[in-house]
């Protein structure tokens, strides 16, 4: 396992493309959140497993990966980075059955899926009692006005911790 963010950055980039993914600064924020949480992490929207890897490399907790599909590249990423023991695949964001597989307490809820208002608000509302930090991706992307709207609403209810790139990191008050 890499001992610092820079080593993780090099290892992950050697395995999976950074195209259509988190930037260096965004990845660093995810890595730091993983370092500081003492509770499991839930990721909604895993795609290639790049964000999954930054969270898993830095955390001593299990990362629960939830997506509507897991492409072969996700499995390759997780296997190549030797993260199979710390990443638990939980199923489909389009069905609520994945909720039964999640822990009762969640340190970080990372949302980078569906990219709609409901795709953000519904999981937040359902998981609200369990969550400490909520981190949204693609918040200011004009292609995803629903994500922006949901982020604006959540900012009224939560404390803003960071705005980095297209990420908004919030914590319950």
CATH of the domain at 18: 3.40.50.150
**Residue 159 lies in domain:** 5-172
Question: How confident is the chain (173 residues) per 10-residue block, as mean pLDDT?
Answer: 94 88 95 96 93 96 87 90 94 68 94 93 93 97 97 98 97 92
CA angle 78, 109, 141 (to 5 degrees): 90
* pLDDT of res. 112: 95
Nearest Cα neighbor of 32 from 164, 122, 158, 143 is 164
Nearest Cα neighbor of 150 from 172, 168, 171 is 168
Residue 48, φ and ψ in degrees, nearest 5: -85, -10
pLDDT tens per residue, range 18-51: 777 899 999 999 999 999 999 999 999 988 999 9
Q: Which residues, in sequence order, are bridge partners of residue 90?
A: none
* pLDDT of res. 96: 65
* Total domains present in the chain: 1
Report how far residue 79's alpha carbon sits from residue 113's, in angstroms, rounded to the nearest whole number: 22
């Amino acid at each position: 396992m890499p001992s610092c963010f820079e080593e993780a950055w090099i290892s992950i980039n050697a395995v999976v493309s950074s195209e259509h993914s988190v930037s260096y600064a965004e990845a660093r924020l995810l890595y730091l959140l993983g370092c500081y949480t003492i509770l499991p992490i839930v990721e909604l929207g895993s795609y290639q497993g790049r964000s999954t890897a930054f969270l898993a490399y830095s955390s001593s907790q299990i990362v629960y990966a939830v997506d509507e599909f897991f492409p072969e590249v996700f499995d390759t990423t997780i296997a190549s980075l030797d993260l199979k023991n710390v990443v638990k695949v939980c199923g489909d964001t389009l069905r609520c059955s994945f909720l039964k597989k999640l822990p009762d307490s969640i340190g970080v809820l990372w949302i980078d899926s569906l990219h709609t208002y409901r795709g953000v608000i519904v999981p937040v509302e359902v998981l609200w009692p369990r969550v400490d930090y909520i981190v949204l991706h693609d918040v200011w992307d004009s292609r995803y006005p629903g994500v922006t709207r949901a982020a604006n609403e959540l900012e009224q209810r939560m404390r803003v911790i960071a705005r980095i790139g297209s990420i908004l990191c919030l914590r319950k008050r």
